[in-house]
């Protein structure tokens, strides 16, 4: 797809997004999450639950490269002109990279959420935008730093 004209790439992407939002796919996803939650909650101790969750995360890390979430276009009518961006922040997925996309006031907002410090994916994306002549505004970069906390059962 990279060699296609930008308009054809956009059409193909919109088609993929549409295919992912069909009711059947949504219901299958909900059923899958329910099954995973049930499996975790069926364990008797927190240690067993953490073990199952770690196993599921390890499996997901092997098969998933990234999560892309398109929130859609915000519909705030007259108020849209006062909104610069519209963000839905979640934690990054098991694979370490989540891209959140939303649209408001004629602008797209993309958030790259990752569990690693390398800017390789963001830089590659910005390079693609530049090569296609797309003007962008890099608003901010936030690095989350957490204290080194040891859990009592992990010692």
Q: How far apart are CA 70 and CA 101, in angstroms?
A: 5
Instruction: Enter the pTM of the model.
Output: 0.51
Q: Are 122 and 98 in contact (CB under 8 A)?
A: no
Give residues with Cβ within 8 angstroms of 91, minimum separation 6.
Answer: 98, 113
pLDDT digits (tens, 9 = 90+) for 100-137: 888 887 788 888 888 777 888 889 999 999 999 988 88
- β 107-114/97-104 pair status: antiparallel
Q: Are 139 and 85 in contact (CB under 8 A)?
A: yes
Q: How far apart are CA 46 and CA 1, in angstroms?
A: 46
Q: Which residue numbers in the chain have pLDDT < 50?
A: none
């Amino acid at each position: 797809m990279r060699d296609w004209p930008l308009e054809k790439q956009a059409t193909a992407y919109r088609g993929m997004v549409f295919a992912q939002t069909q009711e059947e796919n949504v219901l299958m996803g909900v059923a899958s999450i329910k099954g995973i939650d049930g499996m975790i909650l069926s364990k008797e101790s927190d240690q067993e639950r953490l073990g199952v969750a770690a196993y599921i995360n390890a499996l997901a890390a092997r098969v998933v490269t990234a999560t892309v979430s398109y929130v859609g276009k915000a519909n705030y009518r007259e108020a849209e002109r006062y909104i610069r961006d519209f963000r839905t922040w979640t934690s990054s997925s098991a694979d370490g990279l989540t891209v959140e996309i939303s649209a408001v006031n004629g602008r797209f907002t993309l958030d790259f959420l990752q569990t690693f410090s390398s800017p390789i994916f963001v830089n590659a994306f910005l390079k693609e935008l530049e090569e296609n002549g797309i003007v962008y505004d890099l608003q901010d970069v936030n690095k989350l730093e957490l204290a080194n906390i040891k859990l009592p059962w992990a010692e």
